[in-house]
Every structure is written in C-alpha cells, then in structure tokens.
Amino acid sequence: MSQKVLDSLHPDFRPLVVAALAELEQTHGIKCEPYCGLRTIKEQDKEYAKGRDAKGNVIGKITTKAKGGQSPHQFGRAVDVCPYKPHTNELWWDAPDDIWNVIHLHFEELGYTDDRYLDSGYDWRFRDAPHVEDPRWKEDRAAYLRGELKIV
C-alpha cells in the first residue's frame, strides 16, 4: 500500500481510507492500491488539461472536470484507488464493472457506518470509478475561497 499517498490525505479522511482498504481485502478479497491523494493546484491543472486543447475545448479523453482549487484532491480529501488482478501484483486498470461496483459500495457503506459518508465517482454521470472523496472537502474549499485556508 502506498504509504506516501495515504500520508498525503487529510487526518480525518486517512483512517477511513485505511480501514476501507483493509476491510475490502478481508471481506471481498479485493486488494487496492491508493495511487493518488493530495494534488497541488498545478498538478490538478495538468490533469485537467489532459484531453483538452489550450482553450480548454475537449479534444480527447478527459480524466477530470475540476480545475486547480476545484477538486477535493487539493484538500487531501480524495483518493484514487486501483484494484490488483487476483493473485498478482499487477494493477487492474480495466477491471470489470462488477469489481468497481464492489469497491464503490464498500467505500460508501463504510462511510455511513461511521456516521459520515464517503462518495465514490463510480456512479457519477461522468464516471470516475477509482475516485473516493470525503464530501467535507466542500467546507475546506469554502474556507480556502474566504482566504482562511491555504493550499499549494
């Protein structure tokens, strides 16, 4: 498990992610690697540029709709995960929908048991299956916009 990615997460969010990943493997036999946590504004803008021309027009496959400062990744309240192929150490980027659905449901159900909820991008209109976020990032963003919170 990528400790560097986990360490980049907000201290309120990190334990939920760690618990969810451990329980997902124990309960469902699905081991996942967290591969992206905190992103700088510059990194987010670079991700946003993928599949777009210099004017922001979509010209290919895009990976995000959020520009820098508009993503929970800038606040350490989002993580992207990828499952491993069964019985291997190979990441399974093209895992079937039934695997992604189990991951999605597991993260969302875990959040509810802790009197909070986590949101997964699996069932969004713009599907982002690897993405899991803590909706409290919106509170952090509001504080950032008021100048009360700094991000890099």
Q: For 20-41, how does the pLDDT look when each residue is reduced to its tens digit (9 = 90+)?
A: 999 999 999 999 999 999 999 9
pLDDT at 131: 94
CA distance 95 to 98: 8
Neighbours of 111 (CB within 10 A): 21
Structure token digits, residue 60: 């290919």
pLDDT tens per residue, range 30-75: 999 999 999 999 999 999 999 999 999 999 999 899 999 999 999 9
Q: Give residue 144's pLDDT band: very low, low, confident or very high (50, 70, 90).
A: very high
SS3 18: helix
Q: CB count, 10 Å around CB of 65? A: 11
The average pLDDT across 106-121 equals 75
Ramachandran region, residue 60 (left: φ > 0; alpha: ψ -120 to 50; beta: rest): beta
Q: What is the mean pLDDT of residues 8-24?
A: 93
Q: Which amino acid type is present at position 14? A: R
Q: 77: pLDDT confidence band, cut at 50, 70 and 90?
A: very high
Domain spans, the chain? 3-145
Beta bridge pairs of residue 55 = none
User: 114 pLDDT exceeds 80?
Assistant: no
State the burial class of residue 84 (Cβ atoms within 10 Å of its Cβ: 0-12, 13-18, 19+).
middle
- Yes or no: domain 3-145 corresponds to CATH 3.40.50.2000: no
Contact 127, 121 (CB under 8 A): yes
Distances (CA, A) of 125 to 7, 39, 43, 121: 30, 23, 24, 9
pLDDT at 112: 59
Give the pLDDT confidence score for residue 1 in this predicted structure.
57
For residue 129, the number of C-alpha atoms closer than 13 Å in the C-beta half-sphere is: 15
pTM score of the predicted model: 0.90
Q: What confidence category does residue 111 fall into, taking pLDDT thresholds of 50, 70 and 90?
A: low
Is residue 5 over pLDDT 60?
Answer: yes
